[in-house]
Amino acid sequence: MNAYAEPAGSSSVVQRGATVSRQTESILREMVLNGTLAPGERLNEVTIADRLGVSRGPLREAIQKLAGEGLLQLESHRGAFVRKYEPREIIETYEMRIALELYAVRLVIERASDDDLEALGILLAESSAAAEEARAGGGTPAPGPYVAELDFHQRMVSLSENSAIVAASLEVNHRLFLALTHTERSQVRRQHSSSEHQEVLAAVRRRDTATATALLEDHLEISMQNTLAVLGLDPLEYPQAHGPAVHGSKNVLKTEV
């Protein structure tokens, strides 16, 4: 795909009546995350600015912001490129995700109301039913937004009531999604099981911190192994990726990436 392609799921041209810089940043981020701009691709500022209907000033501001988020890489005298992540970077990003979510779930247990957790349970049930319906019909879930696979995790993190953790978690998940942009995500979704999410949520609703954090850590470590496998990397070659799947866990490729 290229910069002329229509970004999925939202307007691809900056509209009047809203901040041009913010709209440009949002659209450019989506173009990166949905694969319109491929990993390793150099951004043609003239082409993209024309495509979005903006001047190069707001576009350059957006490029700087996305570079700060780790989605773009700036190279002197060459321009901006969509970031490609090395295996070590993916593992380190997962380690950050694990750290954020494990602390967030502790805060959720302390701060979330029973009604909040009930709503999270409804979200989980609905997403599980949709995935099961797609499997039963021989199809796959619709692609949806670029963090659709992470809705449960991000919603749970939001219940921590810590805006810094929420923002950092979303940024980390964007980076992981970018790493998987051109892999077969639909296959991962077909293999997705909500059972581990349900177990984590059950422990959270019991306010059982030890069990909830242990289950969530196992779940996320397995997810890291799945990510490496989907990318064609052997987890055994990366000792720092020490999750259960390295030791032959039957759960490999069971959960979502």
Domain boundaries, the chain: 20-82, 87-247
- Are 192 and 255 in contact by the 8 Å Cβ rule? The answer is yes
Q: pLDDT (tens digit, 9 = 90+) per residue, 135-169?
A: 666 654 444 333 445 688 999 999 999 999 999 99
What's the pLDDT tens digit per position in 85-127? 788 888 899 999 999 999 999 999 999 999 999 999 998 888 7
Let me know: does 216 contact 210? Beta carbons within 8 Å.
no
Q: What CATH fold (topology level) applies to the domain 20-82?
A: Arc Repressor Mutant, subunit A (1.10.10)
Strand partners, 9: none
SS3 240: coil
Q: 20-82 with 87-247: one CATH topology?
A: no
Q: 87-247 belongs to which CATH class?
A: mainly alpha
d(C-alpha 256, C-alpha 75), whole Å: 34
What does the pLDDT look like over 21-50, one tens digit per residue? 889 999 998 898 888 888 889 999 999 999
The per-residue pLDDT for range 234-245, each reduced to its tens digit, is 665 665 555 544
pLDDT at res. 229: 78
What is the sign, positive or negative, of the torsion defined by CA atoms of 9, 13, 18, 22? positive
